[in-house]
Structure 1
């Protein structure tokens, strides 16, 4: 198990987006919208249509890239490149890699369960708004970024994706404490008639992640947790990944959402600080 990862300072929000061929009704700028259900859609599945470039306007530290709620098939790939001076010589190139997470090594699933190549089945993936993440070896200060989405045989006839995250990632030096929890929240209303029948007013379920970070020094706590809450409040978006190494459950234990309630930074004892987080999923 590796230490958790938190993404909150998304440099895409103030960047200039260009490239590809995207629908006028679902434009490329939708990648900067905090709700992943608001997608950008390419006009077709030609790789020349489904790529984009990002100009941050100045050098920014980037160590994480994410694409949420995409429709690429299990054959789809993506490629992330970072540039500094121009768009010719990349500082880092991930190469074309599968965009679907591999949750089960081939041949090791439960009896009766078949997941081709270890990927989620399409129906399950759709209920999660499938997301893909690239955790880079180290933060690079770069001016430009290019992301290529490739799935020319996609049956939809187009490629689309919701929120994009291009950011530095905070990995706390001391991991989240035991006692963290994740739950499914269902706010559907149930009314029973006089005869005992139950009637449901169904609402979408969402996940709630609670965790606590302790034993951080003042510099790390204020430079990250304090700034996170100051910048985002209860309306801004963040992503929390409980264990980046746990690929089998990455889709279950990674929550993109908002801070549901503000909490204090506590000076527990000499030179050590703690803070609790409550994150509710966004769609």
Structure 2
């Protein structure tokens, strides 16, 4: 299990997004909006129209790229390139084309008689997830341009869409979070029972909540990252957290695009060592 990965600086926010063929009312620039429900939608599914080129304006450090709330199917693939020329002809990083949906069920864990080809979701189940594609780069690169190629020509919707693009550095603590971390599905729906016994539900969207504690960090690391994270983002700014970057099978389950749900102090619990508690709630 690799240490948790936390991305809290998104260079897409101040970037210029171009290329592809995107709706005038749902433009590609919506990928720079923190609210993933404000989507960008392509005019079709031809790969020439489902491209995004991001100009950060200057060279920026990138360790992590994610596409939030996309509608690509299990046939969908994507490719990420980073470089310093607009055409990305000689990229510093090229992921190659790979499946945007990972295998989600280890062999043998499904119900008896249930078969998921390659361990993947069926289409109905895909719709129940706030789909998020994740690509962590082993060695960060400093690049001015990012090119995102999306491919899903048989998408039954007739278009591709997504709600948020994340690209930037990431903090991977030198000491992983403590045992006792948790992730939960939060359902704030109101349930009322009538005098006759019928149950009425005022359904609300469910979201995930991740809790963890990072401890035993030296002062420089804690203040350079945990302190800066809360100073820059507070409780309203968006962050991205991958609980276990090595676990590709369950990455979509324990990766959260969200915001800090509460403020918490940095605690100097022992000489030269510091800790902080985090609570992150998913943005829908």
Scaled by the length of structure 1, the TM-score of the pair is 0.96
Aligned to 1:209: 210
SS at match of 1:247: coil
Q: CA deviation at 1:128?
A: 1.4
Q: Describe how 1:92-241 pairs up with structure 2 within 5 A.
A: 92-104=93-105, 108-110=108-110, 111-241=112-242
Single out whichever of 260-269 and 148-157 deviates more from structure 2.
148-157
Aligned to 2:36: 36
Gaps of 5+ in 2: none
Aligned to 1:74: 74
CA distance in 1 between partners of 2:149 and 2:209 (Å): 32
CA distance in 1 between partners of 2:144 and 2:54 (Å): 8
CA distance in 1 between partners of 2:136 and 2:216 (Å): 25
Q: CA deviation at 1:195?
A: 3.0
SS at match of 2:249: helix
SS at match of 1:53: strand
Single out whichever of 143-152 and 110-119 deviates more from structure 2.
110-119
SS at match of 1:80: strand
Query: Contact 1:101 / 1:120 at 8 angstroms: preserved in 2?
Result: no
Q: How many residues align?
A: 282
CA distance in 2 between partners of 1:205 and 1:142 (Å): 37
Q: CA deviation at 1:248?
A: 2.4
Aligned to 1:13: 13
CA distance in 2 between partners of 1:33 and 1:120 (Å): 28
CA RMSD of aligned residues (A): 1.3
SS at match of 2:170: coil
Aligned to 1:242: 243
Single out whichever of 89-98 and 189-198 deviates more from structure 2.
189-198
Aligned to 1:253: 254
Query: Contact 1:109 / 1:115 at 8 angstroms: preserved in 2?
Result: no
Aligned to 1:277: 278
CA distance in 2 between partners of 1:115 and 1:169 (Å): 33
Query: Contact 1:235 / 1:258 at 8 angstroms: preserved in 2?
Result: yes
Scaled by the length of structure 2, the TM-score of the pair is 0.95
Q: CA deviation at 1:158?
A: 0.9
Q: CA deviation at 1:108?
A: 4.0
Deviations 1:175-207 (A, max 9, x none): 010111111111111222233332211111111
Single out whichever of 39-48 and 112-121 deviates more from structure 2.
112-121
Deviations 1:37-95 (A, max 9, x none): 22111101111100011111111100111011111121111010001245321111111
CA distance in 1 between partners of 2:7 and 2:115 (Å): 33
CA distance in 2 between partners of 1:128 and 1:221 (Å): 33
CA distance in 1 between partners of 2:153 and 2:194 (Å): 52
CA distance in 2 between partners of 1:22 and 1:150 (Å): 14
CA distance in 2 between partners of 1:67 and 1:102 (Å): 17
Deviations 1:243-262 (A, max 9, x none): 11222221211111110001
Gaps of 5+ in 1: none
Q: CA deviation at 1:35?
A: 1.9
